A and B are shown apart, each in its own frame.
Chain A
Amino acid sequence: MIRTEQLSKYFTTRKGQQPIRAVQDLTLEVREGEVFGFLGPNGAGKTTTVRMLTSLIGPTAGRAFIGRWEVGKDDQNIRRTVGILTESPGMYERLSAERNLSIFANLYDVPDVPGQVEKYLRMLGLWNRRFDEVGSFSKGMRQKLAIARALLHEPQALFLDEPTSGLDPEAAKLVRDFIEELKSLGRTIFLCTHNLDEADRLCDRIGIFKSRLITVDTPENLRTKLYGRKVVFHLAEVNSAWLVALRALPFVQDIQSVDNRLVVSLPDPEGQNPLIIRRLVELGAEIQFVGELRHSLEDIYLQTIQGEGV
């Protein structure tokens, strides 16, 4: 659905100065129906990438495709194909919610303007406030209205730039729930966010980006790649002989004792946990609880970014 090949964007500042390399050689593919998280620090070039992929600005080098349309060659078709939620909602504050959406529905050549406007106002719970000026709306309501605006023309790909930025927890949850709803409807979503928990919950795959793509994979695979898989066995007490016995098992990659817990690195916990439990019981251990040690996406992100010397 979204494909880039060595996509780059440089900004020239003053004569004689080196251009700012906002995006360098970005090559990635986002599949149809996928929610792709695009993570990176401030100034990493995420918004520039979104702007290129929505034909708002042109690339300096490389190519990008939305479906069969190429950025820079089929810009009008790309604008019809994609929807964008910009970092700031940018609504017409003096106009009503309904007017705001009608204007954009007309600009997107939506065939049934009143029908589409009603559909999305109802879907986002704004129907009863449709005649109110947007200036009187809360931040969360504006954000929802901006999402509705991005969806009016039923785009094949939706670009969301920091959709929950600056929202209170309740409003952020409303927006997140709606993104989940869109995900369940099979929309292709390109999500730029700083909220790592949000990305972890919503995204099928994640790309960590700082001017260039550092890594891309599913959140689970990123965890495994960076930390492996670790299982924690909570025991009534730990005997040092048990550590030696478990270390002797061929599939155990690493084992550590922390208080009354054994942290065991395993390549396939689903298959190997029963063997460990059996061995511990044979050794006379009292197992109280077993769980997987799960690193947060924040750990992965920080580890990756720091590994890049950012």
Chain B
Amino acid sequence: MKHIRTIIAKEWMEVFKNKMVLFTTALMPILFTAIPLVMVKTTSGSVSAGGSNADVPALFAQMCGQMNAGDCLQIYLINQFMVLYMMMPLIIPITIAAYSIVGEKTTRSLEPLLATPVTTEELLAGKALAAAIPAIAATWICFVIFLLLLPLVGATEAVRQYVLGPTWLLGIIVVGPLMAVAAVNFAIMVSSRVNDPRVAEQMAAILIVPVLGLLFGQVAGLVVINLQLMLIVIAALVVIDIGLVYLGARLFQRETILTRWK
């Protein structure tokens, strides 16, 4: 554990000394917290009493059940942002993780690091946790801020209850970290196979595509992110994470990394 702690501390010291990385890491959580609050504020009271749920996709309207049209519309809107909250721990660590191995390659610090008694597992775990922890922490902190500010922007009790319900909580507490693990392991895997940090970042960003698919699917009314879908996503992510962790460790060939980099 000491080696993992040392690698995490080293990564954080290096990353957070870079003000640009710090800024981009902080900017997204702030935006993803502010935008849904503004949406709730602007839509509160926009549906007249006795209005219907016809404004939201039919699939989503079924989920609203007996809710009034105003509540259903607000839930529909902020449900899009749940996807963003799930995406946050995926996007934030990519920059850090993508740079983790290829960065060491370009600064030539990987060879001395690999010459220490650190095992491959410790090295990868340290790098992965260093990237994932800030992302998960930022997501959770932003979600708490979002929850606290929700009543102040005019969200009704039904909306607050929905956000505190199992779908959102599973999304934030379980799916978020699972997304982070997938993103970080994929980015590190790419990072150990390329010679340019920019290539690593670009390739790792591919992971966002399926999550965007979920977002647009819901906007288009093709899918609804409900408890059932959330459980399917969790199961799929567990399998993906196990596969990526295994593959990442297998693909991290010390010798290849040392002898074939340019």
Partner of A57, one of B9, B13, B108, B255: B255
CB pair A86–B108 under 8 Å, yes or no, is yes
Q: Is the CB of B116 within 8 A of A95?
A: no
Q: Are A56 and B6 neighbours in the complex by a CB distance under 8 Å?
A: no
Given contacts A11-B259, A94-B14, contact A104 B119 (CB under 8 A): no
Q: Distance in Å from the Cβ of A14 to the closest Cβ of chain B?
A: 13
Residues of A within 8 A of B17 (CB): 94-95
Contact check, B2 vs A56: say whether CB atoms are below 8 A apart: no
Q: Kindly list chain B residues whose C-beta atoms are within 8 Å of the C-beta of A94.
A: 13-14, 17-18
Contact of B116 (CB < 8 Å), options: A51, A92, A108:
A108
Q: Say yes or no: B13 contacts A99, CB within 8 Å.
A: yes
Given contacts A11-B259, A86-B108, contact A107 B114 (CB under 8 A): no
Asked whether A107 lies within 8 Å of B6 as measured between CB atoms, the reply is yes
CB distance from A298 to the nearest CB of B (A): 29
A residues in contact with B255, CB < 8 Å? 56-58
Report the bound CA distance from A9 to B1 in whole Å. Answer: 34
Neighbouring A residues of B3 by C-beta, 8 Å: 106-107
Rounded to whole Å, the gap between the CB of B250 and the closest CB of chain A is 16
| B111 adjacent to A79 (CB under 8 Å) | no
In the complex, which residues of chain B have a beta carbon less than 8 angstroms from the beta carbon of A92?
10, 13-14, 107, 109
| Inter-chain contacts of B251 with A (CB < 8 A) | none
Give, as a whole number of angstroms, the nearest-CB distance from B192 to chain A.
15
**Residues of A5-58 whose CB lies within 8 A of B:** 11, 48, 51, 54-58
Question: What does the 1/0 interface line of A55-84 toward B look like (CB < 8 Å)?
Answer: 111100000000000000000100110101
Q: Are B110 and A90 within 8 A (Cβ)?
A: yes
Chain A residues near B35 (CB-CB < 8 A): none
Number of residues on chain A facing chain B (CB within 8 A): 32
Flag whether A285 is at the interface (Cβ < 8 A).
Answer: no
In the assembled complex, the Cα of A56 lies from the Cα of B13 at a distance in Å of 26
What A residues does B115 contact at CB under 8 A?
Answer: 54-56, 79, 82, 84, 86
Chain B residues whose CB sits within 8 angstroms of the CB of A54 once the complex forms: 115
Provide the residues of chain A in CB contact with B10, threshold 8 Å.
Answer: 92, 95, 103
Of A80, A95, A109, which is within 8 A of B13 by CB?
A95
The answer to the question of B258 belonging to the interface, with a C-beta cut-off of 8 Å to chain A, is yes
Chain B contacts of A79 at CB under 8 A? 115-117
A104, B112: Cβ atoms closer than 8 Å:
yes
**Docked-complex contact B112 and A149, CB < 8 angstroms:** yes
Contacts of A55 in B (CB 8 A): 115
Asked if A84 contacts B112 (CB within 8 A), the reply is yes
Query: Cα distance A95–B113 when bound, in Å?
Result: 15
Question: How many angstroms between the C-alpha atoms of A91 and B110 in the bound complex?
Answer: 9
Residues of chain B within 8 A (CB-CB) of A165 are: none
Tell me, yes or no, whether A202 is within 8 Å of chain B by CB: no
Cβ of A99 to closest chain B Cβ, rounded Å = 6
User: In whole Å, how far is B181's beta carbon from the nearest beta carbon of chain A?
Assistant: 24
Q: Is A146 an interface residue (CB 8 A)?
A: yes
Nearest-CB distance from B20 to chain A (Å)?
12
Specify which of A51, A80, A103, A149 is in contact with B117 (CB 8 Å cutoff).
A80
Tell which of B13, B18, B113 touches A107, judged by Cβ atoms closer than 8 Å.
Answer: B113
A253 within 8 A of B: no
Residue contact A86 to B111, C-beta cutoff 8 Å: yes
8 Å CB contacts to A: which residues of B7-36? 7, 9-10, 13-14, 17-18
Which B206-260 residues have a C-beta within 8 angstroms of A? 254-255, 258-259
CB of A86 within 8 A of CB of B259, answer no
Q: Which residue of B has the minimal Cβ distance to A103? A: B10
Contact of B6 among A48, A58, A90, A103 (CB under 8 A): A103
User: B residues within 8 A CB of A99?
Assistant: 13
| Chain B hits for A93, CB < 8 A | 107
Q: How far is the CB of B131 from chain A (nearest CB, A)?
A: 17
CB distance from A300 to the nearest CB of B (A): 31
- A90–B116 CA distance with the chains assembled, in angstroms: 14
Asked if A215 lies at the interface with its beta carbon under 8 angstroms from chain B, I say: no
- Closest A residue to B126 using CB positions: A107
Contact with A along B84-100 (1 / 0, CB 8 A): 00000000000000000
Question: Which residues of B are interface residues toward A (Cβ below 8 A)?
Answer: 2-3, 6-7, 9-10, 13-14, 17-18, 107-119, 254-255, 258-259
A-B contact pairs, 30 of them (CB 8 A): A11-B259, A51-B259, A56-B114, A56-B254, A56-B255, A58-B255, A76-B119, A79-B116, A82-B115, A84-B111, A84-B112, A84-B115, A86-B108, A86-B112, A90-B107, A90-B108, A92-B13, A92-B14, A94-B14, A95-B10, A95-B17, A103-B6, A104-B112, A104-B116, A106-B2, A106-B6, A107-B6, A107-B7, A107-B113, A150-B112
Given contacts A88-B108, A92-B13, 19 further A-B contacts (CB under 8 A): A51-B259, A56-B111, A56-B258, A79-B115, A79-B117, A86-B108, A86-B111, A90-B108, A93-B107, A94-B14, A95-B17, A103-B6, A104-B112, A107-B6, A107-B117, A108-B116, A109-B2, A109-B117, A150-B112
